[in-house]
Amino acid sequence: MFRLAAFSFVVTEGAASALDIRATATKDWTPPRVTVDLDRAPEHRWEEIVTAHRESFLSAINTIFTTPQIRAFVPALKLVVGNAIVRRRLLIGDQLKEAEAIARQLGVDVADIVLASSFYDLFAAKGSPVAFAACSGVVAQNAAGEIIHGRNLDYDFRDALANSTLVVDFLRGGHTLFTAVTFGPMPTFNTVVRWGSFSLSQDERDKGSLLQNLWDIVILGRPAQFSRIRQAAETLDRFEDVVDYLSTVELDAAAYYIVGGTKPGEGAVVTRDRSKAADVWRLNATAGRWYVLETNYDHMLPPPHGDDRRHPLQRAMNATGPQRIDPESMWAVISTTTANNSAGERGPLNDETIYSTVMQASNPASFKTMIRGHPVVPEEPPSSVEELLVVI
């Protein structure tokens, strides 16, 4: 079990001292880690996983689909996404065969699995009953040129999703091709690292309307975003190819993609409209931009009062610096809870954080995902520059 800790940065003449670590909580836990062999027939890839986690998967489906804000929509949406034509377009290739097999084994309608896998695409919009400004992603380059990627996934339905979270190693030819974090029973995901190639996480961007999302899904036939991400993990093996793909592929809802590579300079935030990229913001360590970060607001615009997670992350990154950023200190950064509430800030690690991940495409040993316990929220940071307290 991982310990949350408090880092106290004592600042003298504008420079941060070494980190002083103090334990504050012990509520995190490691999700189950499972294996999906892509060389098996898609109908059988998830059999053992579904058997082992059946109850948590069914509980998650029931909790989400019966929640008051969306239960009235569920029957109609299941008819829309569950019909044979739409579901074949939403889930690419073998993913649909996997979803159909998972549904049979769970004893539920395949529409339940397809709806879960396309939940983001249906509800990420302005005015959505579950529009949820959440998630944080950071990609940094340290002084040695290594790329480190950190992400927090925050969302509603926290307990149900926490109990169904899986780390999945996808194998091909007997070797792990990529590792993803997903919510069972979905065969798709929005956090993944393809070893030796790239890391990728996705954050919500609420633009447009629910009707636009439905139009793109039903009329234009665009696949679900999490399905697109899995397709990228299975078929692409270069950082630039992934950035290009995520910048140009047609989507059915807006999004942010945070991408890390294996070489110096390989880091980017892709801000997406439905049909094209609105912006691609890249690492440039020689110009002083040794990290890029994203929450749920365009990086060139100020975050809204009350949900400013950007500035607490920036303070934590700046206090750490490129000389000290590594997987351990990146975990510290994304575990920050201290925020100036009176200035409209909110902790990047908060009560909606379901899991956190640190990953490096160049270093499988650094991969770490933990389900987060509810954080111990500290007092607002002191106003004196002599002591800046960042709780991680």
- The one-letter code for the residue type at 253 is A
* pLDDT reported for residue 375: 58
CA distance linking residue 201 with residue 191, whole number of Å = 4
Q: Which residues pair with 368 in a beta bridge?
A: 358
* pLDDT reported for residue 158: 87
* pLDDT reported for residue 132: 63
What string of pLDDT tens digits covers the 392 residues of the chain? 333 333 333 333 333 333 332 234 448 999 999 999 999 999 999 999 999 999 999 999 999 999 998 899 999 999 999 999 999 999 999 999 999 999 999 999 999 999 999 999 999 988 887 766 679 999 999 999 999 999 999 998 888 999 999 999 999 999 999 999 999 999 999 999 999 999 999 999 999 899 999 999 999 999 999 999 999 999 999 999 999 999 999 999 999 999 999 999 999 999 999 999 999 999 999 999 999 999 999 999 999 999 999 999 999 999 999 999 999 999 999 999 999 999 999 999 999 999 999 999 999 999 999 999 875 554 444 444 333 333 33
**Residue position matching structure tokens 């615009």:** 301
Nearest to 29 by CA among 354, 376, 347, 352: 354
Q: Which residues pair with 179 in a beta bridge?
A: 169, 193
Q: Are strands 33-37 and 136-141 parallel, antiparallel or unpaired?
A: unpaired
Nearest to 390 by CA among 78, 382, 247: 382
Q: Are 345 and 183 in contact (CB under 8 A)?
A: no
Q: Are strands 175-183 and 20-25 parallel, antiparallel or unpaired?
A: unpaired
Q: What is the dihedral of CA 356, 187, 169, 367, to 10 degrees?
A: -10
Query: Is the dihedral angle over the CA atoms 356, 52, 64, 126 positive or is it negative?
Result: positive
Q: Are 356 and 369 in contact (CB under 8 A)?
A: yes
Question: Hey, which bits of the chain come out as E strands?
Answer: 4-12, 15-16, 20-25, 33-37, 136-141, 147-154, 165-172, 175-183, 191-194, 198-204, 255-260, 267-272, 277-282, 291-294, 353-359, 368-371, 387-391
CA distance linking residue 328 with residue 220, whole number of Å = 44
Active site residues: 135
* pLDDT reported for residue 186: 96
Name all domains of the chain by residue range, CATH numbers in brackets: 4-32+134-391 (3.60.60.10), 40-123 (no CATH)
**Residue position matching structure tokens 């892509």:** 38
**Residue position matching structure tokens 């340290």:** 142
